[in-house]
Structure 1
């Protein structure tokens, strides 16, 4: 499947795509059953119609309530059951620092993290995904919802690259995809989001005086971020299989359901 076919072509959410066609467990992920996306509050009417043709039965929103409150409400077709599974710690200093960067706030209260820079903060978030019990609980809940879905499912966070990217990495790994496949899917966010990210950088510089080079690492899907999560998996659980089974408590039955549903 070409990358163009995987994209849904949504003008208001360009980083929305089907995981179908990616190699997994000696076969490929089935088309039209699992979609990854950014927030859907800027969809056009045409986009909503296009999403409606996917026949979604389930939607997983990985954002915290504080993120949902400041964003345009998702524009959704009729049909999907929405589950809110917040993977976010509003009290964690890394999350508050990144939020301050995104909002153009004064960073003087984040002196330690500021010295390390936004790339360091992003690497810390990816370690949190794996090491934090709260993070693992959220991703485990999401994986069980994917396994139990009765039809096509879509999951998203805000930009569709970090929490959505790691959930995609988990899911593809559970389906038997290798790390090269996972990495290629993760990095595709940079290509499809490039124009939108540049517009965000320009607007934030003009309206709030945010240095683009401070903000740019927050918008990127950097390979070293994904590596940080995988390295944490290897340190804490020995392998991705150990992370799935011990870290996320996904048993043989759940993994079998995922593969039976999603792999041709």
Structure 2
């Protein structure tokens, strides 16, 4: 179990990956890898929590098309800000999630339903692995954590569950965390966002009486089959996660060793 020890009211899916067991039973150091959703709705109390955590670097995986319509991140101090967009402009999933969370019109909904919403989500996870630009973004994100000057590293996308979830899976795999523990952390996003998700679904149903709520739910949740779609693409292209890290992301043995030295007790 990861020992969080803190929470952010305005970003309920935020958590610390510290405490998970990695290579040789060495645990991830608390307070160094912090995953979150977008930080534009943090309360003053949340800012006080982050001030204690003192993130040195804040990584934003959103595209400019997402950030321009969202409230700017609220952060204490002056951490290094890095933008590494992982975004497929031809696919409506990211646009739809952003629209839902920001209360905007759901223009991408029809396209998602036409695709079959769970299938559309699985396609995005395969794209995480298959697309060269996506791989470059995730590789650059991992490399940030190989530099002690970027730690603690706080990273996020919009909802903090898909791009953030896959980046977390990559980092944890590189640190030697067991697959079951990686999956458990991934699925924690559902529990962390349950109240917010149900409120959003009720509001959506009120605004659009004909809305397929279960199709909408599929976009607001994480599901095992989404993660499995990424893993299947990894196996198809690279054989296993070790091959994906080195051949897909281009991470060197030196970089992986630095990651473990920085983050494992």
Partner of 1:25: 23
Partner of 1:185: 185
Structure 1 residue 137 displacement after superposition: 0.6
1:163-207 CA-to-partner distances (Å, cap 9, x unmatched) read: 000000000000011211110000000111100111111122223
Partner of 1:125: 124
TM-score by length of 1: 0.92
CA–CA distance in structure 2, aligned partners of residues 97 and 49 of structure 1? 31
Aligned residue among 7, 10, 13 for 1:9: 7
Structure 2 contact 96–108 (Cα < 8 Å) conserved: no
Pair 1:142–1:106, CA change in 2 (3 A):
closer
Structure 1 residue 116 displacement after superposition: 3.9
Structure 1 residue 96 displacement after superposition: 7.1
CA–CA distance in structure 2, aligned partners of residues 257 and 97 of structure 1? 35
Partner of 1:52: 51
CA–CA distance in structure 1, aligned partners of residues 5 and 207 of structure 2? 31
Counterpart mapping for 1:82-161 below 5 A = 82-90=81-89, 92-95=90-93, 98=96, 102=100, 103-105=105-107, 107=109, 110=111, 114-150=113-149, 151-161=151-161
Counterpart mapping for 1:244-259 below 5 A = 244-259=245-260
Structure 1 residue 97 displacement after superposition: 7.4
Give the match's secondary structure for 2:161. coil
CA RMSD in angstroms, aligned pairs only: 1.8
Give the match's secondary structure for 2:53. coil
Partner of 1:220: 221
Structure 2, unpaired ranges of 5+: none
CA–CA distance in structure 2, aligned partners of residues 233 and 164 of structure 1? 17
Counterpart mapping for 1:63-74 below 5 A = 63-74=62-73
Deviates more, 1:219-228 or 1:98-107: 98-107
Partner of 2:233: 232
CA–CA distance in structure 2, aligned partners of residues 249 and 192 of structure 1? 33
State whether structure 2 residue 194 is matched by structure 1 residue 199.
no
Structure 1, unpaired ranges of 5+: none
CA–CA distance in structure 2, aligned partners of residues 185 and 233 of structure 1? 19
Structure 1 residue 149 displacement after superposition: 4.0
Counterpart mapping for 1:28-47 below 5 A = 28-47=27-46
Give the match's secondary structure for 1:50. helix
Structure 1 contact 59–81 (Cα < 8 Å) conserved: yes
CA–CA distance in structure 1, aligned partners of residues 246 and 122 of structure 2? 24
State whether structure 2 residue 164 is matched by structure 1 residue 164.
yes
CA–CA distance in structure 2, aligned partners of residues 183 and 128 of structure 1? 19
Structure 1 contact 63–87 (Cα < 8 Å) conserved: yes
